[in-house]
Chain A
């Protein structure tokens, strides 16, 4: 029998198995915390910081996807302060690369865009970076557009943890971080890629897409990846 712990989430008493994260505990209690790097079935990394929550007695905000739930914790998942930070993060993500939703394959089906609207973003308060990014079209079936990548690393994890191929990784640091295929090869040259397309399905934006999609045509099936993880077991 696993040890059970009790904590309060938004004032509500929640009992979960020891070892759950705050994000999982909140989900079990039917509470929605936003997250762009978090995905059921993949290991949590705390890359996007959108799932930040307030913890009583702790001054700074904590990412709920990587913070273990502990006995007696009191967590707040929604507040004006949290919302303002989440909005700031989304605006910074939009300012960092060239998303241009109007001409994106994932327009209207994009997790970043949906979250921006949910948080009431009507414009980006930060100066856009306007940097140039390459688009890798060398794979016969898929496209990688770095302009639309938020470096959430869902693709890195699904490939390494579920497909077992580990084609993707991240090079560089901070704002210079970039998704790389194998040791910085073009995708079409990758000898370890099985062409399974799991990376495309879990990508929250239009960064990874199927070839031949026009604007608004790329609809991802990330949930099927989570279900696959569940049927294989090992998902909390």
Chain B
């Protein structure tokens, strides 16, 4: 069976980030049409799946690991995916979400939800995952196969990474991305 006949199972995940990396993914324009013929999008903000599926070929993870839910999902992704890609600065360095790391979580939440709040002050406790001590890059929690830095990474870099992977090569990003 030729490679083109079997569609690669690709997932995208949005952890603690602004979704800018997903916007950059959508900005690859006509390359999307080419990709559509070669991949099956099995999980992510762009599809409806609730559970992270088994046997995923490539997962692009945007955002830092910031909450218990982020960590659990990332660990499941690592177990069920062949190639885990850190997409963008939040996933690669912690970036803006990590700017809270110098503050203790309790103090930070109180400064947002209690100090100076006049209407129903109080830190929300139900329906939201508890925060980890630090918002950290993916590779501090799980093994990452490829880092694609940028805030966001350029659409051309994302298209290049996906095309190279679909063609069975490990992408060489030298000169294609900027750090930080």
* Chain A interface (Cβ < 8 Å from any Cβ of B): 94, 98-104, 107-108, 110, 113, 116-117, 120-125, 127-128, 130-133
Q: Is B83 an interface residue (CB 8 A)?
A: no
Q: Is the CB of B102 within 8 A of A113?
A: no
A94 to B98, CA, bound (A): 13
Q: Is the CB of A123 within 8 A of B102?
A: no
Q: Is the CB of B98 within 8 A of A108?
A: no
Picked from B94, B95, B96, B147, the residue with its CB within 8 Å of the CB of A122 is B147
List which B129-159 residues lie within 8 A (CB) of chain A.
134, 136-137, 139-140, 144, 147-149, 151
Picked from B96, B103, B148, the residue with its CB within 8 Å of the CB of A102 is B96
Tell me how far the C-beta of B52 lies from the nearest C-beta in chain A, rounded to whole angstroms. 23
A-B contact count (CB 8 A): 73
Instruction: Kindly list chain B residues whose C-beta atoms are within 8 Å of the C-beta of A120.
Output: 174
Q: Which residue of A lies closest to B88 (CB)?
A: A102
Instruction: Kindly list chain B residues whose C-beta atoms are within 8 Å of the C-beta of A99.
Output: 180
Q: Is B34 an interface residue (CB 8 A)?
A: no
A131 to B98, CA, bound (A): 11
Q: Is the CB of B140 within 8 A of A123?
A: no
Chain B, interface size category, equals 20 to 34
Instruction: Kindly list chain A residues whose C-beta atoms are within 8 Å of the C-beta of B65.
Output: none
* Chain B interface (Cβ < 8 Å from any Cβ of A): 86, 89, 92-96, 98-99, 101-103, 134, 136-137, 139-140, 144, 147-149, 151, 173-174, 177-180
Q: Is the CB of A103 within 8 A of B96?
A: yes
Q: Is the CB of B173 within 8 A of A122?
A: yes
A100 to B103, CA, bound (A): 16
Tell me how far the C-beta of A86 lies from the nearest C-beta in chain B, rounded to whole angstroms. 14
Instruction: Kindly list chain A residues whose C-beta atoms are within 8 Å of the C-beta of B148.
Output: 122
A128 to B141, CA, bound (A): 13
A100 to B102, CA, bound (A): 13
Q: Is the CB of A108 within 8 A of B178?
A: yes
Tell me how far the C-beta of A154 lies from the nearest C-beta in chain B, rounded to whole angstroms. 20
